[in-house]
């Protein structure tokens, strides 16, 4: 029996929903996630939405920052300059930005 076929868009959607944070950071590669500073916005039921990208995406009804018409906003430009994983997230989000 052959393996089931999954179009690329399904695989990308799965990755976005399970490993890519709202800001675009790959949780598996993020030092904040690895050290427990960030519990992953995709795997946590936030009560107070302390994470700015998470809060903003929810308010705008979008899945990731790259889907925002204002991407990258001033707040996120500062965030994306903070570390290598954040710069990689910027490139990931820029690739899908409208």
* Domain residue ranges of the chain, discontinuous segments joined by +: 8-96
Token pair belonging to 54: 């998470």
Per-residue pLDDT tens over the stretch 28-57: 877 877 888 877 887 777 777 578 888 888
pTM (whole model) above 0.75 = no
CA angle 35, 39, 40 (to 5 degrees): 115
Distances (CA, A) of 51 to 2, 13, 63: 43, 22, 14
Is residue 94 packed enough to be buried (19+ CB in 10 Å), middle (13-18) or exposed (0-12)?
A: middle
Nearest of 18, 70, 63 to residue 44 by alpha carbon: 18
């Amino acid at each position: 029996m052959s393996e089931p076929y999954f179009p690329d868009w399904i695989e990308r959607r799965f990755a976005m929903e399970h490993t890519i944070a709202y800001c675009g950071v790959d949780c598996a590669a993020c030092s904040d996630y690895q050290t427990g500073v960030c519990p992953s916005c995709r795997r946590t039921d936030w009560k107070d939405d302390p994470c700015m990208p998470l809060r903003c995406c929810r308010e705008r009804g979008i899945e990731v920052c790259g889907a925002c018409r204002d991407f990258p906003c001033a707040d996120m430009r500062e965030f994306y300059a903070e570390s290598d994983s954040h710069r990689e997230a910027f490139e990931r989000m820029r690739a899908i930005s409208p």
